Amino acid sequence: MPLVLEGFDGLQLKLKRVSSSIPVRLRAEIRSIANDIVKYAKKFHPYNDITGNLSRSIRKFRVGEFTYVIMAGGEIERSVKSGTTGEKTKVKGYVDYAAAVEHGSSHSRARPYLFPAYYLYKPEIKSRLQSAIADVLTIGGKTYKVGEEIDEGGSDEQGA
């Protein structure tokens, strides 16, 4: 005579919702961390950025499900207002000195801005990702730790 366990439909639905929510929540938190690093690097880089091109060139790209690349330099686009007509026109440019500012060159000392921004947020990254997962693992008002058994509202043992 087989033993049949039934009545776990609600739990199965909750687990399905949780398992699909974790990647979504992690992607959002990783994007938020990347945004924070970009904002800090733009605001606090030590270069006298008269044109704003260096700041404008600091950006992030999503290159994988959970991976962002933060970079500066390369091709940028900005709006320029015409002195005669007042119309704004998009102009493409190239920032080729971003690496020299970060790492220095034979003509100038290094004035890092990307790595200090990363190092500022590095201690928070693990805890922010753990919090993101904990947010998702809250079921029925109780937060579960990874590996902890989920109580579906009753004992699973019957008196023998």
Structure confidence by residue, pLDDT tens digits, 90-118: 777 667 888 888 888 898 899 999 999 99
Residues linked to residue 71 through DSSP beta bridges, in sequence order: 59
Domain limits of the chain? 14-143
Pairing of strands 67-71, 59-64: antiparallel
DSSP state of 35: H
The whole-number pLDDT of residue 85 equals 78
Structure confidence by residue, pLDDT tens digits, 42-79: 998 888 778 888 888 899 989 888 889 898 888 877 67
